[in-house]
Amino acid sequence: MAEFSRDEVSRIARLARIALNEEELDQISQQLDTIIDAVSKVQQVDTKGVTPMSHPHSIEAGMRADVQRTTLTQEQALDQAPAAQDDRFVVPQILGEGGE
């Protein structure tokens, strides 16, 4: 089992710009050891003959046929807009964005 030292955890925290106190360094190094141990156990499982799956259950995804349909023209889309400018909808400015 690989063990993470407090120095390694401290270095990783500094790289991630995460401030950790002494107690957190001890706690996280133990948690990382537990995670690495669990991953190594999973890697030891014989998976020969097992089909890879993205989900533990077989799922039939209901898909509709991909059918081309006509959509609104740009003029039709802007026809009922409260305000339009340069062939675009005009909306209120949000979140202090620059612009007009």
The topology under which CATH files domain 6-43 is: Histone, subunit A (1.10.20)
Read off the pLDDT band of 2 (50, 70, 90): low
Minimum mean pLDDT range among 18-22, 31-35, 58-62, 94-98: 94-98
**Residue 1 pLDDT greater than 70, yes or no:** no
Q: What is the mean pLDDT of residues 62-67?
A: 87
Q: Where are the domains of the chain?
A: 6-43
Mean residue pLDDT of the chain comes to 87
In one letter, which amino acid is 81? A
Q: Which is more confidently placed, 15 or 95? A: 15
Name, in order, each residue with C-beta under 8 angstroms of 2's C-beta and a sequence gap of 6 or more: 33, 36, 40
Distance (Å, whole) CA 8 – CA 15 = 11
